[in-house]
């Protein structure tokens, strides 16, 4: 658990490679790390679920709804992570990210496209100059069941292709066995391999079983230098849920309060409608704060939600309903 230097992101506060001075003692050794993580306040299960349910009932007026839809579109990471991915499929995905609704060109661009490392160069070429970021999954996604050497090679392949972001998965088996130092060291090693790319740390919250584990995993990822904490790979169920996202938003809010550093959150999987997306935006504002209502600090890993956001945007601007036949599939 050795310390290493941080990598700066121009114009934004970078995530450090290791914990700031205020939390350095927490990672001095395995015992200290375990003591810190198990010393975190337990999550009030009933309280977090009730709060999430309550915030989900908030209504938004028409003008605010259009602004929320545009913000949500700008936060979407369009993703294709299938064995049958082709260069053509990736290029089509990139074109949709750059111009989500070709008939209404003032529609915001998506935040990023996310692909496997071997398709990253195709995506980088296709979105060049558009402002859309390219992310690549790495570290033996989605299971994470490989050696550290393979995981780092996976990360290096993505970085050399020119990606802006790397999405890694933690070793959930090691975490659930209480081998926190192993998980911490892997995250830090991948962070080092990312160079200038931002690191999203996927917790796969559906496999962590409890909110307390989600809180511990969130703090572990933050301590190790993750730029984002992300709920899920999207490959298992349950994926993102509002209560889990509340726990993670509270973690980054507490992190900022203690360290002065802001980190990002990405729920992924299971967010399918504009109504779902707006519920998450309400949670962001109420739990973390308005500072997180920005694509740099909050993302949706939910490709399927984009079409519904586009339909709802057309409805808001034209006054009549638009069905799915009027938007592109990819």
Q: Has residue 13 been placed in a domain?
A: no
Q: Has residue 12 been placed in a domain?
A: no
Q: What is the pLDDT of residue 321?
A: 60
Q: What is the pLDDT of residue 93?
A: 97
pLDDT at 110 exceeding the cut of 80: yes
Q: What is the pLDDT of residue 226?
A: 98
Q: What is the pLDDT of residue 323?
A: 60
Out of 135-149, 216-230, 312-326, least confident range: 312-326
pLDDT at 326 exceeding the cut of 60: no
The catalytic residue among 96, 151, 230, 253 is 230
The catalytic residue among 253, 266, 276, 308 is 266
The pair phi, psi for residue 114, each rounded to 5°, is -125, 125
User: How many helices and strands in the chain, by DSSP H and E?
Assistant: 12, 7
Q: How many domains does the chain have?
A: 1
Token code pair at residue 88: 């053509």
Please give the C-alpha separations between residue 246 and each of 50, 226, 250, 275, 326, in angstroms, as whole numbers. 11, 18, 6, 17, 34
The catalytic residue among 101, 164, 167, 227 is 167
Q: Has residue 214 been placed in a domain?
A: yes
pLDDT at 114 exceeding the cut of 90: yes
Residue-range definition of the domain harbouring residue 253: 21-326
Residues 111, 115, 121: CA angle, nearest 5 degrees: 95
User: Confidence class of residue 16 from pLDDT cuts 50, 70 and 90?
Assistant: low
| 266 noted as active-site residue | yes
167: domain CATH number? 3.20.20.70
| 230 noted as active-site residue | yes
| 167 noted as active-site residue | yes
Q: Evaluate whether 218 touches 187 at the Cβ level (below 8 Å).
A: no
Q: Quote the pTM value.
A: 0.91
């Amino acid at each position: 658990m050795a310390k290493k230097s941080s990598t700066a992101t121009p114009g934004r506060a970078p995530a450090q490679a290791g914990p700031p001075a205020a939390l350095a003692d927490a990672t001095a050794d395995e015992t200290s790390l375990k003591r810190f993580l198990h010393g975190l306040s337990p999550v009030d299960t009933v309280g977090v679920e009730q709060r999430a349910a309550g915030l989900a009932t908030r209504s938004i007026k028409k003008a605010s709804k259009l602004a929320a839809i545009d913000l949500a579109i700008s936060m979407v990471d369009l993703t294709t992570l299938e064995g049958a991915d082709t260069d053509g499929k990736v290029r089509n995905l990139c074109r949709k990210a750059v111009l989500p609704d070709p008939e209404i060109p003032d529609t915001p661009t998506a935040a990023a496209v996310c692909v496997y490392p071997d398709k990253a160069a195709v995506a980088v070429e296709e979105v060049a100059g558009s402002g859309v970021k390219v992310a690549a999954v790495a570290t033996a996604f989605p299971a994470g069941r490989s050696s550290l050497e393979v995981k780092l090679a996976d990360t290096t392949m993505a970085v050399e292709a020119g990606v802006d972001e790397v999405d890694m998965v933690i070793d959930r088996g090691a975490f659930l066995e209480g081998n926190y130092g192993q998980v911490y060291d892997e995250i830090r090693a991948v962070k080092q391999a990312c160079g200038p790319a931002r690191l999203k740390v996927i917790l796969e919250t559906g496999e962590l079983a409890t909110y307390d584990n989600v809180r511990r995993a969130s703090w572990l990822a933050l301590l190790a230098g993750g730029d984002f904490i992300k709920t899920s790979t999207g490959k298992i169920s349950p994926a993102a849920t509002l209560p889990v996202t509340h726990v993670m938003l509270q973690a980054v809010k507490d992190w900022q309060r203690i360290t002065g550093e802001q980190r990002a959150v990405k729920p992924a999987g299971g967010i399918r409608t504009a109504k779902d997306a707006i519920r998450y935006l309400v949670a962001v504002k109420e739990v973390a704060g308005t500072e997180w209502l920005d694509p740099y600090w909050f993302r949706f890993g939910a490709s399927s939600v984009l079409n519904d956001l586009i339909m709802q945007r057309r409805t808001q601007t034209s006054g009549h309903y638009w069905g799915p036949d009027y938007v592109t599939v990819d």
